[in-house]
Amino acid sequence: MIVIGIDIGSVSAKGYIISNGSHHRTIVPTGWSPRDAGQAIIDQLLDATRIERDQVERIYVTGYGRVAFEQADKTITEIKCHARGIAELYPEIRTIIDIGGQDSKVIRIGEMGQVLDFAMNDKCAAGTGRFLQVMATVLGLDVSELGGAEEPGQMQMISSMCTVFAESEIIGSLARGNPKGGIIAGLHQSVGKRVAAMARRMGVREQVAFTGGVAINQGVKRAVAKELGTRIIVPEACQYTGALGAALLALEKG
Ligand code: ADP
């Protein structure tokens, strides 16, 4: 049985193909067309595995761009896909924190990976991956460099919650000669505080996993763990958790 799961996110589209038990994954920038991004994922997965399109039994799609992608056999919510992906990787997880490009979520899951409760912030860019991308640009860095560049010992607190005001605050902080690494630590702390507050409102049960592209950033991981006072598990392919879940649900006809 061959199936594909695709997660078309606001920043990047991720895909997983499962072919008789073996997995292959790929990622492309979503760009302006979620439909083209989804198609690119299918093309790359088929190319890399030398599988023909008509050999694929089912394609399930999730993510913010899922409604624009008509090729899929089924669309599924990101909440359900993240829960399924994590349950496969770490059955002991009870709370998932997911931070992607334009939203953050906290999902509580049961012993079988079923969704018990969730909370989501998609109203405001603060505390999301986009927020970090904007701030990295102000600091003259790529978002992938933030984690390695922070200096928690020189933390400069960021008080503005709004992305536009936080940007001005950073420009002002740099102008006063504050160290970049300290400003970055402050940014990570502000993202950590926001998501931790959302998690605490819902109730955090251990163990806790952190997924989505922002989980690649070690600084944000450290900040979330500190705010929650718990150990946090980040899957090796944290950005692909939703795509993995979609592929598993396609396999199970879920
Ligand atoms: P979406 O599903 O909304 O497209 P993702 O889960 O793919 O979002 O996460 C995208 C975010 O992940 C980016 O906005 C960025 O902040 C962060 N990110 C992506 N790649 C990296 C990286 N190599 N290092 C650190 N952060 C990253």
Question: Which residue's C-alpha comes closest to atom 9 of ligand 1?
Answer: 213
Mean per-residue pLDDT for 54-68?
96
Q: Are 77 and 92 in contact (CB under 8 A)?
A: no
pLDDT number for residue 124:
80
Check pocket membership of 27 for ligand 1, CB cut-off 6 A.
Answer: no
Q: Which residues pair with 16 in a beta bridge?
A: 5, 25
Determine the average pLDDT of the residues in 136-163.
94
Edge-first strand listing for the sheet containing 2-8 = 22-29, 12-19, 2-8, 58-62, 74-75
Q: Supply the pLDDT for residue 174.
A: 95
Q: Ligand 1 centre and the CA of 159: distance in Å?
A: 23
pTM of whole model > 0.85?
A: yes
Burial of 68 from C-beta contacts in 10 A (0-12 / 13-18 / 19+):
middle
pLDDT score of 123 more than 80? no
Instruction: Enumerate helices (H) and strands (E) in the chain, giving the number of each.
Output: 8, 10
Helix H or strand E encompassing 75: strand 74-75
Q: Give residue 75 CA to ligand 1 midpoint distance, Å.
A: 22
The finding on whether 129 has its CB within 6 A of some atom of ligand 1 is: yes
**Predicted pLDDT at 52:** 97
Mean pLDDT across 162-168 = 89
- For 29-39, write each residue's pLDDT tens digit: 999 999 999 99
Helix, strand, coil percent values for the chain (each to nearest 5): 45, 20, 30
* Shortest-distance Cα residue to atom 13 of ligand 1: 129
Rg (CA), the chain: 18
Model pLDDT, residue 251? 97
pLDDT of residue 211: 98
CA 11 – ligand 1 centroid, Å = 7
Distance CA 235, CA 89 (A): 8
Instruction: Give the confidence band of 72 by pLDDT, cuts at 50, 70, 90.
Output: very high
How confident is residue 163, by pLDDT bands cut at 50, 70 and 90? confident
Asked whether 5 and 16 are in contact (CB, 8 A), the reply is yes
On the question of pLDDT at 161 being above 80, the answer is: no
The answer, yes or no, to whether residue 127 has pLDDT greater than 90, is: no
How far is residue 85's CA from residue 246's CA, in Å, rounded to a whole number? 8
Q: CB of 65 closer than 6 A to ligand 1?
A: no
Q: What percent of the chain is predicted at pLDDT more than 90?
A: 91
Report pLDDT for 171. Answer: 94
The model's pLDDT over 166-214, given as tens digits with 9 standing for 90+, comes to 999 999 999 999 999 999 999 999 999 999 999 999 999 999 999 999 9
In CATH, 93-234 is 3.30.420.40: yes
Percent pLDDT > 70 in the chain is 100
Tokens of residue 69, six digits: 């992608």
Indicate if 93-234 has the same CATH topology as 2-78+241-252: yes
pLDDT for res 225: 97
Report residue 222's pLDDT band, with 50, 70 and 90 as the boundaries: very high
Buried b (16+ CB within 10 A) or exposed e, 35-46: ebbbbbbbebbb
Centre of ligand 1 from the C-alpha of residue 134, in Å:
12
Does domain 2-78+241-252 correspond to CATH entry 3.30.420.40? Answer: yes
Pairing of strands 22-29, 2-8: unpaired
Average pLDDT over residues 94-115: 95
State the alpha helices, DSSP H only, in the chain: 34-49, 78-89, 129-138, 146-149, 163-175, 180-202, 218-228, 241-252
Q: Quick one: CA torsion of 52, 54, 58, 64, rounded to 10 degrees?
A: 70
Closest ligand 1 atom to residue 63 Cα is: 2
Q: Output the pLDDT for position 156.
A: 95
Side by side, the strands of the sheet bearing 208-211 are: 115-121, 104-109, 95-99, 208-211, 232-233
Domain ranges of the chain: 2-78+241-252, 93-234
Predicted pLDDT at 126:
82
CB–CB of 136/171 below 8 Å?
A: no
Higher pLDDT, 127 or 40: 40
Q: Which pLDDT does position 254 carry in this prediction?
A: 77
